Every structure is written in C-alpha cells, then in structure tokens.
Amino acid sequence: MSDDLLTTTEGAVGRLRLNRPKALHALNLAMCEGMLTALEAWRTDAGIAAVMLDHAPAPDGDPRLSRGFCAGGDIRMLSESGAGDGAAARAFFHTEYRLNHRLFTYAKPTVAFMDGVTMGGGVGIALPCRWRVATENTRFAMPETGIGLFPDVGGGWFLARLPGRIGQFLALTGHRLDGAEAYALGLATHYLPAAALDEAKAAILADPQGIASTLDRLGIVPPEPKLLAQRAAIDRLFASDTLEDVFAALAADDGDFAQAQLAILRTKSPQAMKVSLRLLYDGGLMQSFADEMRQEYAVASRVVQRHDFLEGVRAVIVDKDNAPRWQPATPDGVTDHVIDQIFAPLPEAEAWTPA
C-alpha cells in the first residue's frame, strides 16, 4: 500500500486518510486503487459499520501542510500523458471514476471531512459520501476551466442539481466557496468548527451507528453565506446554456459583480467552458450516476489530449506565467461540431465501466 494513503480499521470504522501533505493530498493512481481495494474489502466485512475519509496531519506538525483535504488529481501526470498517447491519463480517469461511483453507490455509511482545500478530485470523493462536513477552513471549488479541463469526477451530476444556475456559475468561473456557502448549498451536510473535528471523529469511532447524531450535536450555525446574496444576479446572468449568451449578458450589465465575472471568464478556456455547459445540461438529464461517469470518461479521454489542457497546465502549473494561449481564443471559435466530437460515445470496448 502506498504511503500516500493510510488505510486502517479502528473498531467498526474503516478509515481512508489521504497522506500527501506537500501536494495538499492530491490524488494519484495508487491512492485511487488503494481506496477502491479497501472499500471492496469492507463492503462484505460484517465488522465494518461505516467508512471515514479525511486527511492525515502533517508529520512535522507544519500547519501549512494541513491546508488541504484534497486539492485535486495528479495534473502533471495527466498533462505529460496527454502530450503522448494518453494511456496513463485514461487509466487514471478510469480508476478515479470507478472510485467516485463506488462511493456514490456504497451501501455502508460514509463520512468525509472537507477541512481545508477541497477541489477537483477532492470534490469527487467527498460529494458521494452520505455525510460531508465543512469547516471554516473549507475552500470548495471546481476550477478546471482555468487549465482547459472541465468539472469532472461527477461534477456534471452534482453541479447540475444545485439551486438555480449556481452550478453553471461555479463550473464556468471556478469560484471558491467557503464552508458556510458549501453548507448553504447542500454540498456539505454539516458545518463544524475545525476545533471540534477530533471530538467528532472520536465519537464516530466509538459509535459508528450514531454519525448523524454526533454531527448534529457538534454542528454550529455557520456564518452568513455571502455568495447567496448574488443568487438573483447569478440566475439571470448565467441563465443560458450557450456560452456566447452568458458573455453577452455579463457585458450588458455594468454592475461590479457582472463585470468581475466577465473578467474571470475571459481568462478561462473557451473550449473548456463550452464543454462544461454541455456537461451540466446533459448531467441534469442523466438517469444514473454510472451514465454520468461513462460520459465524463469519454469527454476526459479526449480533452486531456487537446491543446487547451496541455497549454493550461503549462501556463498555470509548469511555467506559472498565467498567460495561457487558448485555441480557439474566443467562444465563437469553438464550434458545435468540435463539442459534439468531444462528447461522442467511445466504442464499447474502450468505454468506462463500473468496478
């Protein structure tokens, strides 16, 4: 088992602890495989009543290394693979999406502690859990359009089911929610002060049948969710599933909020934004989470080898000049034909399947 994932059983609780502090616990293939293996073993183990997901504390006690529940996935590996034959990237996505689906369909209670950065792949393992705990440290986002990717790991399913057009707003802008906002939107089921997490975890280990009552007892009233003050503006400005319409609505509104969002969208990949809008439209119509993951895998398999993802990773993660050169550079340059190609189903032999 990789040291990047600590898999233990404590009493009747199976524990999955992410342990890559210098990478903010971002997921790699071995971590996904390890979680899948453990979940399968615990699925039929009568001695395991519940599963807990969190991150391990930094071994040297440096609080800076404990800032993340999970900051995403192994983006550098995906980019390097995408620049070649894409095989390693596809293998990662296939396994990661199986993990997302396994958690979504898991029969035993699951609880995720989203204390710290919860982005991308971290969202993918937290949202399928029955209970999801946010704190004052939570920073929840799907920022993929900034690197030419899209909100995968079930993002098309979860974001499409948020109130109004909040999901579309989050998918396009990559806006970071705090813990209070995540709770207000139902992305978190409970809001606890970070100082109470050790007590919560100890209580769950002592009584895994009483997770809900433990979290209810220790939960507090969160601060005011600031983003919801913009709910009407978001619903109006992001009303369309056509990206050009969103840009036009933002440009026509001279308010500070609209102009700030317009400036943000101008930094994102037009291709990735169109993919994201299509993903959420389709995701809202999906009949099962497995159907969602099957489509996301087909899309990811193609996007990871396209110019915008490779360029986005170069600009944001490798060279860090934050000046990506998107191709096409504007929304009207991304044709419906290109989006249809990206969303085309894979041949049956290559398609994603559940574990």
List the beta bridge partners of residue 141. 119
Q: What is the DSSP string of 323-340?
A: ----SS-SGGGS-HHHHH
Question: How is residue 172 written in tokens?
Answer: 């396009």
Averaged pLDDT, 227-231: 97
CA pair distance 332, 23, nearest whole angstrom? 36
- Indicate which residue of 4, 33, 74, 144 is catalytic: 144
Averaged pLDDT, 3-19: 97
Q: What element of type H or E holds 28? A: none
- Per-residue confidence at 66, pLDDT binned at 50, 70, 90? low
Helix H, strand E, coil C: the string for 113-148 is EECCEEECHHHHHHCCCCEEEECCCCEEECCHHHHC
Does domain 5-350 correspond to CATH entry 1.10.10.410?
no
- Indicate which residue of 4, 33, 152, 178 is catalytic: 152
Whether the per-residue pLDDT at 1 is higher than 60: the answer is no
Three-state DSSP state, 140: strand
Give the relative orientation of helices 87-105 and 289-303 as an angle to the nearest 10 degrees.
Answer: 160
pLDDT per position as a tens digit, 200-217 = 999 999 999 999 999 999
Does the active-site annotation cover 144? yes
Does the active-site annotation cover 73? yes
Quote the radius of gyration of the chain (alpha carbons, Å): 20
- Per-residue confidence at 137, pLDDT binned at 50, 70, 90? very high
* Cβ–Cβ under 8 Å, residues 37 and 99: no
Question: How is residue 303 written in tokens?
Answer: 């996007």
Whether the per-residue pLDDT at 67 is higher than 90: the answer is no
Does the active-site annotation cover 152? yes
- Predicted confidence at residue 13, as pLDDT, reads 98
- Predicted confidence at residue 64, as pLDDT, reads 65
Domain segments of the chain: what residues? 5-350
Q: What is the DSSP string of 256-281?
A: HHHHHHHHHHTTS-HHHHHHHHHHHH
pLDDT per position as a tens digit, 154-168 = 999 999 999 999 999
- CA 121 from chain centre, in angstroms, equals 5
Is there a cis peptide before residue 59, judged by omega within 30 degrees of 0? no
Whether the per-residue pLDDT at 59 is higher than 80: the answer is no
Averaged pLDDT, 28-36: 97
Whether the per-residue pLDDT at 238 is higher than 80: the answer is yes
- Indicate which residue of 14, 34, 72, 73 is catalytic: 73
**Phi, psi angle pair for 8, to nearest 5°:** -140, 165
pLDDT per position as a tens digit, 292-344 = 999 999 999 999 999 999 999 999 999 999 999 999 999 999 999 999 999 99
Does the active-site annotation cover 84? no
What's the whole-model pTM score? 0.96
- Predicted confidence at residue 58, as pLDDT, reads 76
Question: How is residue 338 written in tokens?
Answer: 């290109």
- Per-residue confidence at 68, pLDDT binned at 50, 70, 90? confident
Other CB atoms closer than 10 Å to residue 311's CB: what's the count? 19
pLDDT per position as a tens digit, 247-285 = 999 999 999 999 999 999 999 999 999 999 999 999 999
Question: How is residue 160 written in tokens?
Answer: 């499409």
- Indicate which residue of 14, 120, 121, 155 is catalytic: 121
Whether the per-residue pLDDT at 171 is higher than 60: the answer is yes
**Whole-number Cα distances in Å, 37 to 8, 178, 265:** 12, 32, 40
